[in-house]
């Protein structure tokens, strides 16, 4: 007997019935939440947000950029620096975020600390993930 998985947040649809005894599902086309699977690790933006919020010298405004380098997916965290952070503080904050993500989530990411007010602000729902991977 087939099992239908509910509440997995995968986007798909049931195909019309055929002469077979079972209904089929179409290929999974995406997700309804912001979870990203990066090198086999399930990653939520809220996990990155917790790390960014507890790092000194970094403002709570960040963006996750997904790219493909060769055959592997890569994630870059672009976080805004606090206005009072100097260059040394920014470099230390980038290393701290990178190490905390590696230790806490188990995946290596790149971290860019950008100038304050260079990250665009959102009026509505914040778009945290920018997927630049080729389809």
Query: How does pLDDT run across 38-72, given as a tens digit for each residue?
Result: 888 989 989 999 999 999 999 888 999 999 988 99
* Residue 116 phi, psi (nearest 5): -60, 150
User: 119 near 63, Cβ under 8 Å?
Assistant: yes
Q: What are the residue ranges spanned by the domains of the chain?
A: 36-131
What's the distance, Cα to Cα, between the start and end of the chain in Å? 34
The helix or strand, by DSSP H or E, that contains position 38, with its residue range, turns out to be: strand 36-38
Tokens 């405004």 -> residue? 61
- For residue 11, CA distances in Å to 16, 96, 112 come to 17, 35, 32
- State the pTM of this model: 0.75
- pLDDT of residue 126 exceeding 60, the answer is yes
- What's the pLDDT tens digit per position in 108-125? 999 999 988 776 666 556
- Residue 31, by phi and psi: left (phi above 0), alpha (psi -120 to 50) or beta? beta
CB atoms within 10 A of CB 52: 22
The CATH fold of domain 36-131: GMP Synthetase; Chain A, domain 3 (3.30.300)
- pLDDT of residue 28 exceeding 80, the answer is no
Q: To the nearest whole percent, how much of the chain has pLDDT over 70?
A: 87
């Amino acid at each position: 007997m087939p099992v239908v998985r509910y509440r997995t947040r995968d986007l798909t649809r049931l195909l019309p019935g055929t002469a077979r005894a079972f209904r089929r599902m179409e290929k999974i086309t995406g997700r309804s939440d912001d979870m990203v699977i990066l090198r086999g690790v399930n990653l939520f933006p809220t996990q990155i947000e917790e790390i960014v919020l507890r790092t000194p010298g970094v403002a709570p405004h960040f963006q996750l950029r997904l790219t493909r380098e060769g055959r592997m997916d890569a994630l870059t965290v672009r976080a805004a620096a606090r206005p009072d952070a100097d260059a040394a503080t920014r470099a230390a904050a980038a290393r701290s975020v990178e190490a905390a993500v590696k230790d806490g989530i188990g995946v290596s990411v790149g971290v860019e600390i950008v100038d304050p007010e260079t990250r665009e602000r959102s009026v509505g729902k914040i778009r945290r993930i920018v997927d630049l991977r080729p389809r």
